[in-house]
Each structure stands twice: as C-alpha cells, then as structure tokens.
A and B are shown apart, each in its own frame.
Chain A
Amino acid sequence: MTDEEQRVLESEQRLEEAVEHAEFAISVRGLRNRFGDQIVHEDLDLDVRKGEILGVVGGSGTGKSVLMRSIIGLQIPDAGEVHVFGEPMIGRLDDEEALAVRKRWGVLFQGGALFSTLTVAENVEVPLREYYPNINATLRDEIAAYKIRMTGLPCEAGPKYPSELSGGMKKRAGLARALALDPDLLFLDEPTAGLDPIGAAAFDAQTRELQQTLGLTVFLITHDLDTLFSICDRVAVLADRKVIAVGTIAELLATDHPWIQEYFNGPRGRAAVSAQKAHSGQAQGGAGLAERQ
C-alpha cells in the first residue's frame, strides 16, 4: 500500500469515527449568501440530526437550493460556517479530508443530472470508478446492477441512455448514482417535482425504505406537502433570509408565523393533513382488526 493510499484510508477511518460520534450530520452557523444587492441568507442557522429525514420548505426564491449548494460546497458563502459530521467544509473543496467527507454523501439534483454520454448503469459506476478503481469490473457491474434494482428501476433500464428515460426514471437513476458509495448523508432537491401523484408517492416510499435500510440522514428540499407529511421527521422553514422554525409538523402548526400558517393551513395543506389522518387511521384500524383476529 502506498503512502498516499495509507493517508486516504486514515482520513477515511477518522471520518468514520466522526460519523459515529457526531451529534449532527450537518450544522450550519451564521450563513450569509448574497447575489449582487440581493441578500438570500443572513445569519442562517440549521442543524440536521443524524438519521432523520429533514424536509426544507420555503417560498420561491428563499434560497433552498442555495442552502443545499452552500452545504455541499458548490456555492461559497460570504460568511458563516458549515460543518458536515463535525468537519468544517467552507473553502475546502479540494482538500483531501474534505474529499473523504464527499464520499459520505450523495446528491440527487432536480433533473437527475445524469451524464448524457453514459448509460444508466455506467452512471452509477462513475463514483465507484473514481474513488475505488481497484474494484474489479465484474464486481463493479454487479454493484451497479443491484443499486439500480434497489431504487426501483426496471431491469431493462441499465443499458439505456438518459435521453431514453422518462422524468421519474431519470430521478431514480440519479438516486442510484447518489447511493453508489453507500453514503451516510443524502441530499434530495425536489425529488417529486414533475412526477405524477402515483410516481411521487412511490418515490417517497422508496426514499423512506432506503433511509431505514441504509440508516441514511436525508436533507430533502421539497414543495410537495404530501412528501412532508408522509416521510419527513422534521421540517425546516426558510423565510425572511433565515430558518424561522424547525420541528415536527405539529410543532410548526403551533407557531403563529403567518407564512407557516398559510402554508400548512391553506387548502392544499389541509388536504394533505386529512389525507395523512385518513391514512394513519386506516393503518391503525387494520392493526386493530389483526389483533381482534
């Protein structure tokens, strides 16, 4: 083993311990982002607990995507600190230890962001090839194959090119690529936008199942109230350039911020609440029935 490999392995081991011991998966402090005269974030704080699905909501232009890009290092903020598993991330895009952190997360962009010259399966193999070139080709193909199955894609999707896929399949393929390295942390940017309700519900269920199987922490930007109600453990609300509230939906409903009230108590919000109640009522009813039998 060369010195460099040894160093990489050591930093990975250190990070694994950090992942184990860190209290928060992501911790953002005093974040400030500005585009020209427009201030998007000012003094923004946010903590994402390990193993939770955190939904991030906010009106258009409140900087949900900018927040995600700041955390994953695509946007360098004007001020503030971002820690992922306790590691500071700002300004360390090419750092070796920051690289170890990057292996621990997967990102699903809005349109899937698949590489158009590669097939779906080859897309999934890209992170494996990049970080673990020693894995032999057969094993790599097999890994890509089960990641594809795991995200609910049909088997014939493997050798297809992204341009031959529907929107929903592109997102699943993007998810398979994000999960290629078994990350601890998954970023999803509006995963159900543009999907039909059945596809969206299936994607939500898949996300929940994967999160439980793999023990993921999920940072989920969404506009979809059904997603918020059905799979998010906590919800963070972005407004007035900061995170104005974080909590379960019940906690959020108890606050009296006008935007939150309008968001959750508007016609769509109420519909989602009643759908959720009906759903859980049915589940309880079903359980009760089973007990009686």
Chain B
Amino acid sequence: MQSAELQQEQGDDGTIVRLAGNLAVAHLGSLPDRLDALRGPVATVDLSGVTHIDTIGAWTVHRFALAHNASLRGVSDEARRLIDEVGKECEPVAIRPEAEYPLIRVLSEIGVATRTAGHTMVGLLGFFGGTLVTAWTLIRHPRRVRMHAIVQRLEVVGVSALAIIGLMSFLIGIVIAQQGSVQLRQFGLEVMTINLVGRLTFRELGVLMTAIMVAGRSGSAFAAQLGTMKLTEEIDAMRTIGVSPMEALVMPRVIAAVVMMPLLGFYASIVAIIGGGFLCAVALDIPPVTFVQRIREVVPITDVYVGMIKAPVFGLIIAICGCYQGMQVESNAEEVGNRTTAAVVQAIFLVIVLDAFFAVFFTWVGWI
C-alpha cells in the first residue's frame, strides 16, 4: 500500500491528472497542497490507480475536480460511493462564530460586567429580603422550623471546621507576634507585642480570617449544593410538593452561619492569642502567666464586643451569597462551578467592605 501519488500529463482534450495509490488520510501527505498548487486548466482526473480511499481523500478529489470543472475517470465503486456522499449539495457550514472588533468586544464586555454586577447587587438585596420574610414566617409559625436540618448544618459549618480554623488561627497568632516583636524591638517595646496580638485578634483578624475560611468552606458548599439541586430539579420537586425551598434549604444554612460565625470567631481569637502567647514564651521569654495578665489589662472588653457584633453579620453575608448564587443556577453543570466561584468571591469582597465600615463606625462610637 504505497502513499498517494500525483502525475500530470497532456491528453487529447486537455491536461489529465492521474491520482494513484492509497488516498486514505494517513497516506495523503502533501497531496492536498500539491493539488492546490496545480495550475489548470485540468480536463480529467483519473483515479484508476487508486487502491484505497476514505472520505477525506474523496473530499480532496471532489473539491479539486469541482475547482477545475474536471471530469472523473476510472472511479471504482467504493470511490464513487464516497465521492457522491461527500459531494451532496448543501449550504456552507461555518466553523466558528463571527469575530467582533476588539474595541467593540472590550466595550461590550465592560457593559455586560457592569450590568451583571448591578443585577447581582439587586438580586442579593432581593434575596436578603426574601430571607427576612421567611424568617418572619418562621417566627410566627415556630413549628415549621426544621430543627433537624439546622442541627445538621450547625455541625457541618461549625464543628467540622474547628480543626482547620484552630490551626489557621494558631499560626496567625504566631505570625503576628513574631512580625510585631521584630518591629517593636527597634523601639525597645517588645512587651507591646502582647497588646498587638490581643487587640488585633479580637477586633479584626480572628473574625475576618474565620469569615474567609467559612466563605471558602461553607459558602462554596452552599452554592454547589443548591446549584446541583437546582440542576437535578430537586428544588422544583420540593415546590410542587408544597415545601418552600427558602424554609427547607436556605433558612437552615443562614441560621447555621449566623449562629456559628460568632462562636468560631471567638474560638479563633482565643486560639490566635494562645499562638501569640506560645511565641512570646518561646522567643521573647515572657512567661504565660504574665502574658495572660497583660492581655486582661490591655484588651478592653469592647474589643470582644466589636468582634462578636461583626461575626453574625459576616455569617449572614456568606450564607446569603452562597444560597443566592446556588439558587441562580439554571442550565448546566458548568454554571454550578462558575456560581460557586462567584459566591466565594462576592462573600469575601462584601465581608471586607463591611469590615471597613464597621471599623469607622466603632471608632465613631468611641470603642477605640
């Protein structure tokens, strides 16, 4: 089975192109390019030497004959069948969607992104309203509260996260103490490391880092779970049976996040302080007893309040973003992935924005 061959000769009625050998795709080699380069006019294409042909070879022959308006000769039954098949008349088929001008594309993408952002903000606000309405219904009809689902979510959001949040906070405590002590040593104020660790963890980092971790762990899970349930029509099935997905799916998650965030935030702050104390004991020779005493002196109770007021709000934002994005899934599995990403990004963004507002607010009310 030799490769495809091409010969050209002058016949009575014009040029004859002889194709021979194996015209299957694996053996075509440069034949299509050589045929393209061939200058006409060609009267006849002779295929009598062809041993084997497939549809790709048949197409190559067909387009060549068509381009030169040449007739075919010596066509075997096999080749005839394939050439007839590929040569059926049809409208042209486009391969890709038509490309846009780059400038217009950039402008349209900016427009679409702005619109999406606006829609999402309005949607989130609407979803928040829906959650409040559902909460009010549940307060009026306490028997409809699904304790089982809530307890299950509390475990997943809170208890299962203890290990990872503990480890993270312990390391953060160590890092703050270590970095802080290096800077403060320049002023001979190494002992102020304790103030730094105590106030920073309770006021800001304990809750903020916990919120980021919960957004990554649970906010994403909410979006993915609800999104998958949307896809498998579980949520539609619920509605037809008369169960409100807001009550059965969204509320337990919101409640779990709101309840668990302060607990996790407090736990994280304490563990971070233990981490800071550990470093102070090991690297700065401050004994743990002194450390605890100092902490009690320098950290005002309002710092704890600041953290504990912020935490449930952050929990609410995380749960709302996760559930909202999950409920927005419409068509396919790819969307679940995109929505999950969006849920985490939005939650963390909103948490940080709100944290800035809280910082200004608490300074304003005098909880410095």
- Report A's interface with B, CB cutoff 8 A: 9, 12-13, 16-17, 103, 116, 119, 121-122, 125, 132, 134-136, 139, 141-150, 155-160, 163, 181-182, 213-214
Contacts and interface: CB of A to CB of B under 8 A. Distances in A.
Contacts of B86: 146, 150
A119 B95 contact: yes
A148 B23 CA distance: 21
B332 A163 contact: yes
21 contacts: A16-B26, A121-B93, A121-B96, A125-B95, A134-B29, A135-B28, A135-B32, A136-B32, A136-B33, A136-B36, A139-B32, A143-B55, A149-B93, A150-B55, A150-B86, A155-B92, A163-B331, A163-B332, A182-B25, A182-B56, A213-B82
Nearest to B95: A121
Contact of A182 (B55, B97, B98): B55
A163 B334 contact: yes
Given A116-B334, A213-B85, A145 B93 contact: yes
A142 B63 contact: yes
Contacts of A17: 1
Given A13-B1, A182-B54, A214-B55, A139 B95 contact: no
B267 interface: no
B305 to A, nearest CB: 50
B353 interface: no
B55 A132 contact: no
Contacts of B127: none
B81 interface: yes
A149 B1 contact: no
Interface string B224-264: 00000000000000000000000000000000000000000
A158 B94 contact: yes
A119 B29 CA distance: 27
Interface in B88-125: 88, 90-98
Contacts, number: 88
Q: How large is the interface on B (under 10, 10 to 19, 20 to 34, 35 or more residues)?
A: 35 or more
A159 B59 contact: no
Contact of A132 (B25, B91, B95): B25
Contacts of A122: 95-96
B24 interface: yes
A112 to B, nearest CB: 13
B210 interface: no
A143 B94 contact: no
Nearest to B81: A213
A181 to B, nearest CB: 6
A149 B90 contact: yes
A145 B1 contact: no
Contact of B24 (A147, A150, A155, A182): A182
B174 to A, nearest CB: 43
Contacts of B59: 139, 142-143, 146
Contacts of B81: 213
Interface string B190-213: 000000000000000000000000
Contacts of B24: 16, 182
B97 to A, nearest CB: 5
B88 to A, nearest CB: 7
Given A155-B92, A159-B94, 16 more contacts: A9-B27, A16-B26, A103-B26, A116-B334, A119-B96, A119-B97, A121-B94, A134-B29, A135-B32, A139-B32, A143-B56, A147-B55, A150-B55, A155-B90, A158-B95, A159-B97
Contacts of B32: 135-136, 139
B25 A181 contact: yes
Contacts of A145: 92-93, 95
A158 B93 contact: yes
A170 to B, nearest CB: 11
Across the A-B interface, the 8 shortest Cβ-Cβ residue pairs: A145-B93, A182-B54, A121-B95, A158-B93, A159-B94, A155-B91, A159-B97, A12-B26
A199 B85 CA distance: 22
Nearest to B333: A116
B60 interface: yes
A159 B96 contact: yes
Contacts of B90: 149, 155
A160 B97 CA distance: 7
A182 B25 CA distance: 8
A271 to B, nearest CB: 30
Nearest to A8: B26
Task: Identify which of A12, A145, A146, A148 gathers the most chain B CB atoms within 10 Å of its CB.
Answer: A146
A147 B29 CA distance: 20
Contacts of A159: 94-98
Interface string B14-31: 000000000011111110
A146 B54 CA distance: 13
Nearest to A5: B29
A104 to B, nearest CB: 10
